[in-house]
């Protein structure tokens, strides 16, 4: 082993930037095998290593996914492509949809892509909470043209449900659209407990369009912060279309925002009634043109309930921006 000076400096700088004391023992991570290619860790301290052995390449990476994944993408994949170029590279395009089921997507696009499949196109479907990915792949000299043709056909038949491609998330698309238009968003959350704000603020550039997020869990907070009527709460309850509407409209007015989303519901496992069972949700979107309210029923565990509800909320806003 030998000390890698640049790694040692990166480790020291890592702790200095965070104003944290550095245990001396951590510097052992700067000891690397002689002749190894050191892969910088942009998200932690332990570097990755690449060694060429008589049996092939040996790649060593840190364990935490938040360090491993970007290191692989930024350093390992380019290294392997250069050292071990694929003879027949595969090209992949993922078309991301929401608001339509996996079987419905397949019914619409599989028959019209038969000729492309005969030429080597492969189609895969991946259903996740509130979304369906269509994975198009092909290889060979004509792969790029084949994927472009296939994507056009997919958009022609399910285009109303397509919100992005490849690694794009719904919140990425919304933040980008609002920033481009110079428009703003405010959020008023009850049952989602701030998760909508969390998803929006995870996107770089959110500060250009996101004005405020209110987590108004109690009735008093809904009244004091959003101006929800005491009479509405008494007559309809916190989980109701009327209250969701007043939450969104109150938030929009308070911040002079272009758009306001509000959520109120029963996450469970208790709290439901025959009239409003566990999973009942009201999602309101207030705009200059008026207020629209959705009333889905998301019967699942609390964490999934929150995610699905935020997905439906972002979907409502995405459609309004289309």
What CATH number is associated with residue 133? Answer: 3.30.70.2860
pLDDT of residue 86: 86
Range(s) of the domain holding residue 302: 170-321
Report the alpha-carbon distance of residue 109 to residue 239 in Å, rounded: 39
Tokens at 39, concatenated: 């892969």
Residue numbers of the chain with a pLDDT score lower than 50: none
Domain end: 165, 194, 220, which one? 165
269, 273, 275, 278 alpha-carbon torsion, rounded to 10° = 0
Q: Based on the fold, state whether residues 7 and 142 are members of the same structural domain.
A: no
Q: Are residues 215 and 279 in the same domain?
A: yes
Is residue 279 domain-shared with residue 314, that is, in the same domain? yes
Quote the pLDDT of residue 88: 87
- My answer on whether 98 and 229 are in the same domain is no
Query: Are residues 258 and 297 both part of a single domain?
Result: yes
Q: What is the pLDDT of residue 290?
A: 98
Which of residues 50, 65, 83 is at a domain's end?
A: 83
Here the CATH number for the domain that contains residue 12 is 3.40.980.10
Q: What is the number of domains present in the chain?
A: 3
Does residue 221 sit in the same domain as residue 312? yes
Domain boundary among 51, 83, 115: 83
Give dist(CA 38, CA 46) in Å, integer: 10
| Whether 177 and 296 share a structural domain | yes
- Whether residues 176 and 161 share a domain: the answer is no
Please tell me the distance from the alpha carbon of residue 47 to that of residue 3, in angstroms, as a whole number.
12
From CA 234, how far away is CA 278, in angstroms rounded? Answer: 20
Same domain assignment for residues 231 and 286: yes
- 184 and 156 in a common domain: no
One domain, residues 212 and 316: yes
Task: Please indicate, yes or no, whether residues 214 and 309 belong to a single structural domain of this protein.
Answer: yes
């Amino acid at each position: 082993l030998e000390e890698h000076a640049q790694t040692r400096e990166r480790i020291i700088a890592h702790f200095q930037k965070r104003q944290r004391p550095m245990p001396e023992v951590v510097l052992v991570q700067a000891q690397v095998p002689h002749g190894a290619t050191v892969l910088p860790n942009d998200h932690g301290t332990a570097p990755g290593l690449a060694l060429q052995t008589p049996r092939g390449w040996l790649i060593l990476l840190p364990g935490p996914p938040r360090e491993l994944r970007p290191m692989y993408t930024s350093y390992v994949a380019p290294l392997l492509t250069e050292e071990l170029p694929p003879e027949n590279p595969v090209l992949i395009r993922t078309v991301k949809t929401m608001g339509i089921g996996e079987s419905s997507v397949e019914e619409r696009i599989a028959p019209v892509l038969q000729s492309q499949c005969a030429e080597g196109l492969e189609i895969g479907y991946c259903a996740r909470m509130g979304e369906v990915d269509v994975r198009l792949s092909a290889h060979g000299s004509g792969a790029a043209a084949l994927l472009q043709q296939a994507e056009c056909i997919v958009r022609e038949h399910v285009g109303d449900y397509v919100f992005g491609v490849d690694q794009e998330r719904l919140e990425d698309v919304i933040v980008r659209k609002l920033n481009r238009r110079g428009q703003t968003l405010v959020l008023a959350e009850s049952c989602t407990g701030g998760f909508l704000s969390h998803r929006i603020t995870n996107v770089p550039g959110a500060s250009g369009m996101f004005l405020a997020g209110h987590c108004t869990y109690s009735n008093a907070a809904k009244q004091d912060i959003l101006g929800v009527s005491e009479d509405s709460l008494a007559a309809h309850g916190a989980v109701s279309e009327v209250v969701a509407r007043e939450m969104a409209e109150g938030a929009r007015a308070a911040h002079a925002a272009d758009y306001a989303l509000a959520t109120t519901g029963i996450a469970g496992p208790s709290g439901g009634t025959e009239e409003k069972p566990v999973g009942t949700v009201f999602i309101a979107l207030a705009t200059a043109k008026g207020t629209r309210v959705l009333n889905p029923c998301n019967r699942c565990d609390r964490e999934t309930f929150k995610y699905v509800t935020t997905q439906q909320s972002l979907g409502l806003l995405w459609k309004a921006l289309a």
